[in-house]
Amino acid sequence: MSNTDKDISKEVVTTTPPKAAAIPTRLALLGRPPLLEGEERAAYEQHLARVTEAVKPADILEEIWVRDFVDHDWVICRLRRFQTSLLTASAHDGLKEIIRPLMPWSSAAINLMLSSPDASDLMRLSSEASDLATRWATRKPSAINKVNRLLAAAGLTMDAVMAQTLSLNIDVIERIDRMIMSEEARRNAVLHEVAERQARDQHVQRQALQQRRSWEPQCRARVPGERSKFEGSRAAHRTEARSGLVQADLSRFPRRLKRAQACPRLS
């Protein structure tokens, strides 16, 4: 690369990203970060700073798009955590459904459930599984050991419990999934706008650079040891001017003119 190309390439400089500390001040018009109770502001600002460093916004429009991208991505992560938290909080309901047929009821209790007209006895027997599930949810050691024995005797694991929990909350889980898909579509649309705008700006910069290079004089790109046409014409012009001065001086002295005509070097 020649010195001229280096000088021109220096003119097309990539815009430096804004500092993370300055982003909340400049984008105050967008409001506070969408944080809920228990979410850390430092984690959000770190996420915003890293996305800003990766995208390198060039103006206020791209900064707004970066903020939109981070907000949508933050909501997506939140909804995914909500799904996991919902299943964890509802695990005792799934456990109750799993261990109800596994409870070691006596034959007398089974006969009472089938023939007793008293509904209170039936409710008392069926509530044993619910009580065990409640004590298991509160992490009582005796309840945890009993649940593990019941599941092991039936050849089941906690996967069966969580699968039953999912089936009980499938409607809510599906709604959350649709919300996640909607947020992902919005996030990806923002990212597409940023990428398309930056690609268009880079194309314009490349065209300007190529046009600038085409305007450079051809004499600057000469081969070492060769004289350009421009310099050759200048040298010829100087030679002709010098020869004309010599002829004008000799015309004033006839003897010198005769001597010059006789000398090939002065012709």
**Model pLDDT for residues 185-221, shown as the tens digit of each residue:** 999 999 999 999 989 888 888 888 888 777 765 545 5
72 lies in the same domain as 9: yes
All residue ranges of the chain with pLDDT < 70 are 1-27, 105-126, 216-267
84 lies in the same domain as 178: yes
> In the prediction, which pLDDT does 164 show?
97
Collect all residues with Cβ–Cβ distance below 8 Å to 55 and sequence separation of at least 6. Answer: 17, 62, 66, 69, 194, 198
**pTM of the model as a whole:** 0.65
> In the prediction, which pLDDT does 21 show?
44
> In the prediction, which pLDDT does 202 show?
86
Please give the tally of structural domains in the chain: 3
119 lies in the same domain as 84: no
Q: Domain range spanning residue 228?
A: 224-266
Residue 61 lies in a domain: yes
> In the prediction, which pLDDT does 255 show?
60
Cα–Cα dist 17/59, whole Å: 10
251-263 residues labelled b (16+ CB within 10 A) or e (exposed): eeeeeeeeebeee
60 lies in the same domain as 125: no
> In the prediction, which pLDDT does 128 show?
84
Residue 219 lies in a domain: no
Residue 150 lies in a domain: yes
148 lies in the same domain as 261: no
